[in-house]
Structure 1
């Protein structure tokens, strides 16, 4: 397989169309050979609009499923499923049957060759699970556990899920988290990554006030003003998120 020169990675859009539009307008995203969507695409205030916009990208976009996409599908099909947050059942009710069929078709992982990086494995949370938590400061034995069973030639793993961008080495593998486009933790803006020949973490600034106003006008989610203010303005700090996610990483208070 001929390696791709440039791959844009967009993760955790969470149904926020203004943030997505800002990133898609970036010249390097428009010029990328492929756009990889690493899950949690639509569970948010404009789920149908975001899926329609992404579908319009055609074959340039390569889609993966995240835990929120799986949960949307379950609620949309009337299955007995947990309710992870208030917006999930609401968002599921906004989707058409073709949206649900699309979500049902998405794979959990994707492998591509990227110039300068070789074979790259893309996933939502970890290669083996769509809601498992690993963090920038996860301990070495945790990464070894998560990587168990991967082919030796996979030296780069791209994941999302925790909404905080980072790049680190773990057991000789480069781990990349592009952060979140629609629900960033730590600082505002739409976060994504550009691969090839190296790794660049990018932040696209956009008019947050205008985006909050747009969502408030165009989304019928009952608490849209509060939701948009909290997530688009990144009211949750990186410390808040790391504290919340830490126990799910398997660590104890002494670590």
Structure 2
């Protein structure tokens, strides 16, 4: 974790330097083989910065994922997501259950210092990226870590969730819904890199590369081997079914959109 991150969660960080290439990894969800595949990509190795837009740990190998990411040192800039917050709250006795069934397992698997690391992550950060200008990174929306917006969310919904974003920010990068897209909304470019560890719609470890444009990527890796590895190495009781479902992307984009749709206030499909 970068030493530049704040000590209290929920804040915002801003960096003045302009970067030529920024890799964005979102929603890793504790899937170490998927993370390894992305970090091995030449463009990620060469990137000036690697931004992690939350939901890093809620999955089968949370401690191992954090250990690997910390090896990136100050190249990595971290944000917290709603699932990371839930794990912290559970470990600190602020909640007794977690909506995601694997969440309690993941929370218990974290070491104490890892809980403290997650608790200190900011909610947003802003970087200057060559060709894109000021880019704001968040987990779900700039104002909330579990708010829903989708590629086809209506204009007034985007106006609502982007209210308060500084006028100089031309690009907003978010995650949370595990489906990659890039679209214009309220005069800003909105980018969702998709999910590294729990993709909806199609398999692969999804991420994106910023600068000077936006390049949505999906890293291929040996998914049958990864499913077998998680099944052998993770003590979560339902790990075989979990890995088969999420690494193979058995949740379609249509199914995910149907579940998420009411969360953005829409009526009907």
TM-score (norm 2): 0.93
CA contact (8 A) 2:97 2:104 kept: no
Q: What does the per-residue CA deviation read over 1:150-206, in whole Å, with 9 as the maximum and x for residues that have no partner?
A: 111101000000000000000110000000000000000000000000000000000
Aligned to 1:38: 53
Structure 1 alignment gaps of length 5 or more? none
CA contact (8 A) 2:79 2:123 kept: yes
Once the two structures are superposed, the pairs formed by residues 86-235 of structure 1 within 5 Å of their partners are 86-235=101-250
Structure 2 alignment gaps of length 5 or more? 1-15
Change (3 A) 1:148 1:81: farther
Runs (4+) of structure 1 exceeding 6 A deviation are none
Aligned to 2:68: 53
Aligned to 1:29: 44
Q: What does the per-residue CA deviation read over 1:102-149, in whole Å, with 9 as the maximum and x for residues that have no partner?
A: 001100000000000000000000000000000000000000001101
Aligned to 1:79: 94
Q: What is the root-mean-square deviation of aligned Cα atoms in Å? A: 0.8
CA contact (8 A) 1:71 1:81 kept: no
What SS does the aligned partner of 1:91 have?
A: helix
Q: Equivalents in 1 of 2:86, 2:96: separation in Å?
A: 7
What SS does the aligned partner of 1:106 have?
A: coil
**How far 1:82 sits from its partner (Å)?**
4.2
- Count matched residues: 254
What SS does the aligned partner of 2:243 have?
A: helix
Q: Equivalents in 1 of 2:185, 2:97: separation in Å?
A: 33
CA contact (8 A) 1:38 1:159 kept: yes
What SS does the aligned partner of 2:156 have?
A: helix
